[in-house]
Structure 1
Amino acid sequence: MEKVFPVIETKRLILREVTLEDAGDMLKYLSDTDVVKPMGLDPFETVNDVWDEIKWYESIFEKGSGIRWGITLKDSGKVIGSCGFLNMLTKHHRAEIGYELSKDHWGIGIASEALEAVVMYGYRHFHLERIEALIEPDNHPSQKLVEKQGFRREGLLRHYEFTRGKFDDLYMYSLLKEDLNGISF
């Protein structure tokens, strides 16, 4: 039986599965160095690069190791970013959260709205206990974003990833279900 990809609706957004038809919209922001550098990636150059990313989204969903929603504005339907879980370990009730957003939409609360919706979905539907965010020390906007959602910085993971020809330090942030006081699941 095929899994059904869930859709999440917020005040301004529809978070949905991305398809190969979204590749052109995604290339617009995934080719932007400012968007992909904090992800440890080089800018995408072609639609084929984006197709590989979409196929990765499909594979983590099928394997149950993650899920990545395309972020779309209700009024346009165009994919302007993504948000979701990876490295999901159901046995341990934890997952990593990741996100990126087109620079055209920075600073107006879109990432915060998407992140909050995905976090809540993770606690309600995947029965997560812990959600982690790994963020480069220089990525202050992303740190502020997760801190606004209640994530706590736990420490620095030295030389945690090897990306773009170098070792990267990453801050480990976490949000536990119990940190969301008063919210029923």
Structure 2
Amino acid sequence: MNSITEFPVLATERLVLREITERDSSSIYEYLSDAEVMKYYGLAPFMSEAEALEEIAWYNSILEEKTGIRWGITLKNEDKVIGSCGFLNTVSSHYRTDIGFELSKEFWGQGIASEAMNEIIRYAFEHTTIQRIQALIEPLNQASQRMVEKAGFSREGLLRKYEYTCGKFDDLYMYGLLKEEYNTNK
């Protein structure tokens, strides 16, 4: 991704995607302590607000290291973070990045995650040099699979025992979206 001099605030019809700061730790703890939200996150549910502060420090570190960016998802006219989305494992020399997202359970099924994801995809392809966005999704996470497929991602294969998280090996589907496919599907 290009060097970011000022954190890009993005807006959609219903959402504002903004930088996450330490003052958001209680709202982040609220949804990342929920076992259902964390089911496919790769971490155990958070047990303290200190873990939320560590997560925010990680968001800051990937931005500083230019290996990713994470936006807080907020509803317009409300500043409470209800989820996050962004890019990680960015490899600038190969013009690719991974996408990730999670949302507070009370907002599931309202199209909010899709709206946020589509906006950051637009940002990546229109304002950075990224040519490929990939999503790694557990086979049982059918809601996320449907969401990325609706956004134009193609399932490219199964990565067997790709991650070791929470005491187990996880298989992950690899999904990919290329810039030229995004431009075609706009």
TM-score range relative to shorter protein: over 0.9
> Using a 3 Å threshold, how does the CA distance of structure 1 residues 136 and 76 change in structure 2: closer, same or farther?
same
Report the Cα distance in structure 2 between the residues aligned to 1:171 and 1:55, rounded to whole angstroms.
28
Q: What does residue 10 of structure 1 align with?
A: 12
After TM superposition, give the deviation of residue 39 of structure 1 in Å: 1.1
Aligned residues: 184
Letter in 1 for 2:161: H
Counterpart of 2:88 (choices 86, 89, 92) is: 86
Q: What does residue 105 of structure 1 align with?
A: 107
Normalising by structure 2, report the TM-score. 0.95
Secondary structure of the residue aligned to 1:39 is coil
> Using a 3 Å threshold, how does the CA distance of structure 1 residues 2 and 130 change in structure 2: closer, same or farther?
closer
Normalising by structure 1, report the TM-score. 0.96
Superposition pairs of residues 1-185 of structure 1, within 5 angstroms: 3-182=5-184
Counterpart contact for 2:96–2:130, Cα < 8 Å = yes
Runs of 4+ in 1 over 4 A off after TM superposition: none
Report the Cα distance in structure 2 between the residues aligned to 1:182 and 1:2, rounded to whole angstroms.
27
Deviation readout 1:45-104 (Å, 9 max, x if unpaired): 111000000000000001100000000001211100000000001111100000000000
Aligned residues with identical type, % of pairs: 56
CA RMSD of aligned residues (A): 1.5
Report the Cα distance in structure 2 between the residues aligned to 1:88 and 1:116, rounded to whole angstroms.
18
Secondary structure of the residue aligned to 1:180 is helix
Secondary structure of the residue aligned to 2:82 is strand
After TM superposition, give the deviation of residue 182 of structure 1 in Å: 4.2
Counterpart contact for 2:152–2:185, Cα < 8 Å = no
After TM superposition, give the deviation of residue 183 of structure 1 in Å: 6.9
Unaligned stretches of 5+ residues in structure 1: none
> Using a 3 Å threshold, how does the CA distance of structure 1 residues 105 and 2 change in structure 2: closer, same or farther?
closer
After TM superposition, give the deviation of residue 180 of structure 1 in Å: 2.0
> Using a 3 Å threshold, how does the CA distance of structure 1 residues 139 and 2 change in structure 2: closer, same or farther?
closer
Unaligned stretches of 5+ residues in structure 2: none
